[in-house]
Amino acid sequence: MAWLLAESFAELMLLPSRYVSVLGYLVKQYLFEKMELLPNTATLIAFYKRRKEEGKEEEEERLEEVEEEDEVELLAGTVEVCFNKKGVVASPPTPTPPKNSPYVSNIVVKKLLRRFRGIEWHLLKASEELILHMSSSREGYLHCRMIDTAPFNMYKKSGYDIVKIDTILVLLLLQRRKHLICKKLPVLTNFSELDTFCSQEELTP
């Protein structure tokens, strides 16, 4: 998983692939630090298992670089969720979210599996569901770079609204400007409502 995150950071920072192993080492340290903060934070992992019957051709094409096996199971993506300020390792980037509110970060999907099975969307839904279980707060925050318009539109469709936008001054720090976005999560009185909330949203990814 550290490798998946490191590859994605290198991609976002436009770094050459030779930096991935150094980044991987740093990400590993970070993940060890995060483990000490459980249960104030969680890292979710998505696995992709090849379905033998359905859409075989499309899958064969995608997975041709993966070794020929009857069953393929891949680490497909990951996301981090902090439920409160005790779950935060380092201060989140600007614009800063409210200190004690649930915060979703580092959503990454393996390159090979992007735009394929809505894996980011599923990771996001799983994060929201977990927030409803683990936090009394009923909102979730996340950052999205202004240049990432496609994921941003998906967040908007999923119910996220812009709360703050980075000032142009962050460009002086050689950073991309980001939106801080927030979604009001439903107040649930029992767990069966949670199932209804999730299945209703599946209609509008």
Ligand X SMILES: CC(C)(COP(=O)(O)OP(=O)(O)OC[C@H]1O[C@@H](n2cnc3c(N)ncnc32)[C@H](O)[C@@H]1OP(=O)(O)O)[C@@H](O)C(=O)NCCC(=O)NCCS
Query: Which residues are marked as active site?
Result: 155
Question: Residues near 69 by Cβ (< 8 Å), separated by ≥ 6?
Answer: none
* Neighbouring-strand partners of residue 47: 75
CB 72 within 8 A of CB 90: no
**In the complex, least distance from residue 137 CB atom to ligand X, rounded to whole angstroms:** 21
When binding is defined by CB under 6 A, the residue of 121, 132, 160, 181 that contacts ligand X is 121
Does residue 93 bind ligand X (CB under 6 A)? Answer: no
Binders of ligand X in range 141-160 (CB under 6 A): 144, 148, 150-151, 154
- How many residues touch ligand X under the rule CB under 6 A: the total is 17
Q: Which is nearer to ligand X, 85 or 111 (CB)?
A: 111
Q: Which is nearer to ligand X, 98 or 151 (CB)?
A: 151
Q: In what order do the strands lie in the sheet with 41-49?
A: 41-49, 73-82, 103-109, 139-145, 178-184, 161-165
Does residue 107 bind ligand X (CB under 6 A)? Answer: yes
Q: Which residues of 63-76 are buried (b: 16+ CB within 10 A; e: fewer)?
A: beeeeeeeeeeeeb
Does residue 166 bind ligand X (CB under 6 A)? Answer: no
When binding is defined by CB under 6 A, the residue of 62, 114, 164, 177 that contacts ligand X is 114
When binding is defined by CB under 6 A, the residue of 10, 104, 108, 181 that contacts ligand X is 108
| Cα dihedral value 133, 118, 160, 130, nearest 10 | 10
Element holding 108 (H helix, E strand): strand 103-109
Residues that bind ligand X (CB under 6 A): 8, 12, 107-109, 114-115, 118-121, 144, 148, 150-151, 154, 205
